[in-house]
Amino acid sequence: MSTPSSAAAPEPFNDGEGGHITLGERVSLVGKLIFCLAITFSAWQIAMAAYSPLPSIVMRSMHVGFVLLLTFILTARTFRKTGLRAAWDWFLGLLGFALAFYHWIFEPDLIMRSGMPTETDIIVGCLMVALVFEAARRMMGWALPSICAVFLAYALFGQYLPSPLNHRGYDFDQVVDQLFLGTEGIFGIPTYVSASYIFLFIVFGAFLERAGIITLFTDVAIGSVGGSQGGPAKVAVVSSAMMGTVNGSGVANVVTTGQFTIPLMIRMGFKPAFAGAVEATASMGGQIMPPVMGAVAFIMAETLNVAYTEIIQAALIPALLYFGTAFWMVHLEAGRLGLKGVPKSELPSVRNALRKGWPLALPLLVLITLLFSGYTPLFAGTAGLAFTAILIAGRRLGQGIGPLVLRIAFWLVIGVLASLGHQTFGITAIFSLIAVMVVALMVIKGGRETLTAMAEAMAEGARNALPVAVACALVGVIIGTMTLTGAATNFTRVIVEVGADSLFLSLVMTMVACLVLGMGIPTIPNYIITSSLVGPALENLGVPLIVSHMFVFYFGIMADLTPPVALAAFAASPIARASGLRIGMNCLRIAVAGFVVPFMAVYTPALMLQDGGPLAQDIGYPAAVAYVVIKAILSIGLWGAAAIGYLTRPLSWLERLWATAAAMSLVAALPATDEIGFALAALFIGWQWFRQRSRA
């Protein structure tokens, strides 16, 4: 395990959501203060998750307060503001943090006068909402604040619009009450999820990355597929899929694994735009890859009031199809270009990588086991994070123990103490064990380097959580507006009316709405807006609720790959040294599963392991799952051949149109379209076999 000892922070990266916000150096007094504040934020959130000592509204308010404090002081530092400008940013951050105590101090009074805000309530509420808007603007640019401002204006002035767009009208204090004093606005469900599940899993991923799991994933990916046809690009797909199981982030994956995979792909013969597109496409899949999916998955579980494991279940097959498609596209492109893999002499040993790094997979196994054993994501995340901290500290402590037998005994003692302590004293025993290990690390040789790495993981987790937390707070404005005014009802009625004649057209309208919204805002607010507007409408049309929300989720992700504003593509652009627009166009070819699978799941919910739909009623649920998976694989295979223009040999335009027609026919679940699709596919494959034999 590598444990950097330098006090310098990592280089700033572009998260696609707000520039290059970084913790900065830790040499100066200000740098040390910011670093300590970030660690304090993480420690606070871990304590809240472990013990839940405060009312929910207070926990949410303090979460937003910490976020505002760090956002303003980090933007001042990152953009090197000095003098009055820096002082102003520090003032705004401290003001936001101070106002966060309002709910904590006056909670009983706020409950007693619920619905009747005082003048002080209104002033504090206006300030807090304004600070959230400004923090989001600094972190993510103008797009999301502008959209939220439109919704806010609708709440204030919507009564002046013509029917049916208007509402009955609401006083200013009613709007502020909705957005600040209750749990329907900036302290709504997204903020609750950010303050509990999401933050924990982000810190969990930061700890695993510090432990060296990126190196493990990269070595396993290169050693397993690097030597095959188009191996370097397949490495990008496999490593990004594995990274997705840990951090659930798309654009962050591009700038971590992409630093290695994109230059390797280019060196082995792939065009720069295609190499960047492979990494961008594979990285965005991290948000749909169980067990640690993107933040949207946790928000979805809380919104739908279902277990997180149900979201994992629904996402599993589509995620495998998504990465399988990217893998297939890479294979075909390499065949078209006649590219080979990495020379065998340069491949790392998978066996050696697993032998050295297999303990790093244990926290993931613990997490998965707890989730599927019925524990909440909150408990599973806390336990997984604690287990990772014990693993990191224990590996350093164990290095000083000579014989293998003693090292095994050391880990057995750690395991017994953790197990018995947790059964008797709960999570406090685990934290006490970690504290004892921390003290031990302070006195052994090399222990302080490990402590530094753990502290940096805490600070980086807090920093990485900021864009998500700010977005979750700000979209509360949209949720609060729609809850107050019932704005979603009109949009739902339009979708239902269209869907009465054509479900497909309703789905296309929903897809376009997601893609258009996603051009300027991240996946989280995109999902929240479109699911609030469209989710009930699709449910009224007979689409299972989880499937309708996953449909919206998928196209929110696809928006980051779709030109003209493709955040993941532009994140890959400086690494690949290719146009972001060209990378985005290649993403559309590679990510075809992201466009096809959601439509197939709507028509056949068994693809997302959901019971229901005519096919399951006709042939039974297990048979329906097997049938739709086979159909999806065949359809995606045909899409790949058509998009790349190659199968076992280059395809003519007529053959590509043939493959496209067969693939499109297999998307729907009608008996007639399936029969046509299978017939066209069989003829196409037979024709390719015949041509191949003729050439031989």
Q: Over the stretch 665-675, which tens digit does the pLDDT of each residue have? A: 888 767 788 88
pLDDT value of position 132: 95
pLDDT value of position 194: 86
Predicted confidence band at 6 (pLDDT cuts at 50, 70, 90)? very low
Tell me the CA distances in angstroms from 458 to 6, 44, 46, 51, 599, one per residue in order. 16, 11, 10, 19, 40
pLDDT value of position 9: 33
Is the pLDDT reported for residue 489 higher than 80?
A: no
pLDDT value of position 603: 84
Q: What's the angle, vertex CA 428, arms to CA 426 and CA 430, rounded to 5?
A: 85
Is the pLDDT reported for residue 3 higher than 50?
A: no
Q: Which residue has the tokens 């799941």?
A: 601
Tell me the CA distances in angstroms from 453 to 3, 206, 321, one per residue in order. 5, 10, 36
Structure token digits, residue 333? 């492109």
3-state secondary structure of 172: helix
Predicted confidence band at 15 (pLDDT cuts at 50, 70, 90)? very low
Closest CA to 257 of 476, 571, 486, 557: 571
pLDDT value of position 593: 75
Q: Which residue has the tokens 């998978």?
A: 350
Closest CA to 302 of 202, 190, 466, 198: 190
Is the pLDDT reported for residue 601 higher than 80?
A: yes
Predicted confidence band at 252 (pLDDT cuts at 50, 70, 90)? low
Predicted confidence band at 18 (pLDDT cuts at 50, 70, 90)? very low
At how many degrees (to 10) do helices 143-157 and 119-140 cross? Answer: 150
Q: Measure the CA–CA gap between 327 and 343, rounded to whole angstroms.
A: 19
Closest CA to 62 of 50, 77, 74, 47: 47
Predicted confidence band at 495 (pLDDT cuts at 50, 70, 90)? low
3-state secondary structure of 565: coil
Helices and strands per DSSP (H, E), number in the chain: 32, 0
Helix/strand/coil (H, E, C) string of 594-651? HHHHHHHHHHCHHHHCCCCCHHHHHHCHHHHHHHHHHHHHHHHHHHHHHHHCECCCEC
State the sign of the Cα–Cα–Cα–Cα dihedral 49, 53, 55, 57.
Answer: negative
Q: Measure the CA–CA gap between 515 and 151, rounded to whole angstroms.
A: 19
Q: How many CB atoms lie within 10 A of CB 167?
A: 20
pTM equals 0.77
Selected residue with higher pLDDT from 228 and 8: 228
Cβ atoms 278, 265 nearer than 8 A: yes
Q: How many CB atoms lie within 10 A of CB 222?
A: 26
Q: Measure the CA–CA gap between 526 and 513, rounded to whole angstroms.
A: 9
Q: Which residues pair with 650 in a beta bridge?
A: 646
Tell me the CA distances in angstroms from 91 to 69, 117, 473, 522, one per residue in order. 9, 26, 20, 28
Is the pLDDT reported for residue 392 higher than 70?
A: yes
Is the pLDDT reported for residue 273 higher than 50?
A: yes
pLDDT more than 90, % of the chain: 19
Burial 501-526 (b: 16+ CB within 10 A, else e): eebeebbebbbebbbebbbbbbbbbb
Predicted confidence band at 1 (pLDDT cuts at 50, 70, 90)? very low
pLDDT value of position 565: 65
Predicted confidence (pLDDT) per residue in 546-562, tens digit: 898 888 888 888 887 88
CA 22 to the chain's CA centroid: 20
Structure token digits, residue 76? 């001042």
Mean pLDDT of the chain: 83
Predicted confidence (pLDDT) per residue in 30-70, tens digit: 889 999 999 999 999 999 988 888 899 999 999 999 999 99
pLDDT more than 70, % of the chain: 91
pLDDT value of position 539: 76
Give the range with max mean pLDDT: 4-18, 61-75, 202-216, 509-523. Answer: 61-75
Predicted confidence (pLDDT) per residue in 178-196, tens digit: 999 888 889 988 888 888 8
Is the pLDDT reported for residue 5 higher than 50?
A: no
The residue-averaged pLDDT of 333-354 equals 82
Closest CA to 236 of 557, 567, 460, 568: 568
Tell me the CA distances in angstroms from 5 to 2, 102, 410, 450, 687, one per residue in order. 9, 40, 26, 8, 61
pLDDT value of position 14: 36
Predicted confidence (pLDDT) per residue in 200-247, tens digit: 888 888 888 888 887 888 788 888 888 787 787 888 788 777 776 665
Predicted confidence band at 26 (pLDDT cuts at 50, 70, 90)? confident
Contacts of 364 (CB under 8 A, 6+ apart): 208, 245, 246, 291, 384
pLDDT value of position 60: 94
> Among 10-19, 128-137, 174-183, where is mean pLDDT lowest?
10-19
Is the pLDDT reported for residue 520 higher than 70?
A: no
The residue-averaged pLDDT of 464-482 equals 86
Predicted confidence (pLDDT) per residue in 348-375, tens digit: 888 888 888 888 888 888 888 887 787 7
Predicted confidence band at 10 (pLDDT cuts at 50, 70, 90)? very low
- Identify the H or E element spanning 103: helix 101-112
Q: Which residues pair with 646 in a beta bridge?
A: 650
Selected residue with higher pLDDT from 571 and 496: 571
Main-chain dihedrals φ then ψ at residue 228, nearest 5 degrees? -85, 175
Q: Measure the CA–CA gap between 465 and 44, rounded to whole angstroms.
A: 14
pLDDT value of position 617: 78
Is the pLDDT reported for residue 4 higher than 60?
A: no
pLDDT value of position 2: 39
Cβ atoms 390, 400 nearer than 8 A: no
Instruction: Quote the radius of gyration of the chain (alpha carbons, Å).
Output: 26
Q: Measure the CA–CA gap between 467 and 604, rounded to whole angstroms.
A: 35
Is the pLDDT reported for residue 335 higher than 60?
A: yes
pLDDT value of position 102: 95
Predicted confidence (pLDDT) per residue in 606-642, tens digit: 889 887 667 777 788 888 888 889 998 999 899 889 9
